[in-house]
Amino acid sequence: MDLKTTYLGLELPHPFVVGASPIAARLDRVRLAEDAGAAAIVMNSLFEEQIIHHEEGLQKHVLSHEDSFAEATSYFPSADEFDLGPDEYLERIREIKQAVDIPVIASLNGTNLGTWTEYAKYMEEAGADALELNLYYQPRSAEESSEQVEGNFVEIVEKVRQSVKLPLAVKLSPFFSSLPNFIKRIEDKGANAAVIFNRFYQPDIDIENLEAVPSLKLSDSSELLLRLRWLAILSGRTQLDLAVTGGVHTAEDAIKAVMAGADCIQLVSTLLRHGLPQLTKLRNEMAQWMEEKEYDSLEQMKGSMSYQHAPNPEAIERANYLRILQSWDVEA
């Protein structure tokens, strides 16, 4: 079965990629990922807070529950391993490039424009095959308009594009007033791919101790639905490659994502739950299903259920909303 796909100009043997996660923090895990058949690996993001050594509580906020899931314990490195400084991060790119043959996609999350462009260059020089811009920012001031936020994002893409020749993926949240318009704007500024969607770690509230506490939960298949809708809408309407992240746990999930238009499938939570051999399992199960359904290639299946090709495109749009609500009734 021909599962080949192209993502960020990289010819991949299949769409399954290790998404940004602690897996990249250990070379032995990276090697195991390659042995399991990963088509590429995305490194965990380098945050500007790490670069400027600001707020040591960052690693506690993100990683304090790193061993909460027994099945994931062996895959989460310690905080010291994951919280790489900027020099260590760049060295890790070099080490991974020497250790494996699969493409390495670096990831960057900044706050100042200079940081984005400076470290994008450093990552290119370190040997990264591509760069994922992790646009993780949550405005909290009423004085900051949506136009300003999105304008800043577009400028980041533009300036990084001017700074490096690396293929650029932009990792997005679903919180845009007009996602298709924003996709067009970053495409015009030189982005090569969009990653649909980032998952935000939301704090919980401890009502006994009256404090906010970090809450780290792995995704499940229900989170794929939002991503399927937007993949289906965007597929065929943009020249950007489309990657899905969040909610792919089974071969059926992966097949749905490709049918909606995904060129690349980034796996994290399912690998943390089941281990890196899950990569092999999902790839084999997808190939078997496609053979049974008489598909010749992934390309033949890709986008077949997008808005442009779906036999019932109104199900993707608002027209289906009322119908779904009316289909439920309250038991007496």
pLDDT surpassing 50 at residue 7: yes
What residue ranges do the domains of the chain occupy? 5-326
Cβ(267)–Cβ(16) below 8 Å: yes
Helix (H) or strand (E) holding 150: helix 146-163
Residues 227-268 pLDDT 10s: 999 999 999 999 999 999 999 999 999 999 999 999 999 999
The answer to whether the Cα torsion of 117, 123, 127, 130 is positive or negative is negative
- The Cα–Cα gap between 254 and 220 comes to 13
For the segment(s) 5-326, the CATH number from 3.90.1330.10, 3.40.50.720, 3.40.630.40, 3.20.20.70 is 3.20.20.70
The answer to whether the Cα torsion of 71, 97, 115, 138 is positive or negative is negative
Q: What is the mean pLDDT of residues 173-193?
A: 95
pLDDT band at 317 (very low <50, low <70, confident <90, very high): low
- The Cα–Cα gap between 281 and 53 comes to 40
- The Cα–Cα gap between 165 and 170 comes to 15
Residues 6+ apart with CB under 8 A from 80: none
Instruction: Write the single-letter amino acid at 149.
Output: V
For the chain, first and last CA: distance in Å? 52
3-class DSSP state for residue 328? coil
Residues 6+ apart with CB under 8 A from 262: 15, 196, 231, 242, 243, 244, 302
Residues 51-110 pLDDT 10s: 765 344 444 444 444 443 333 334 334 444 445 788 999 999 999 999 999 999 999 987
Q: What is the mean pLDDT of residues 291-302?
A: 97
Question: What integer best gives the mean pLDDT of the chain?
Answer: 87
Looking at the DSSP bridge assignments, the partners of residue 81 are none
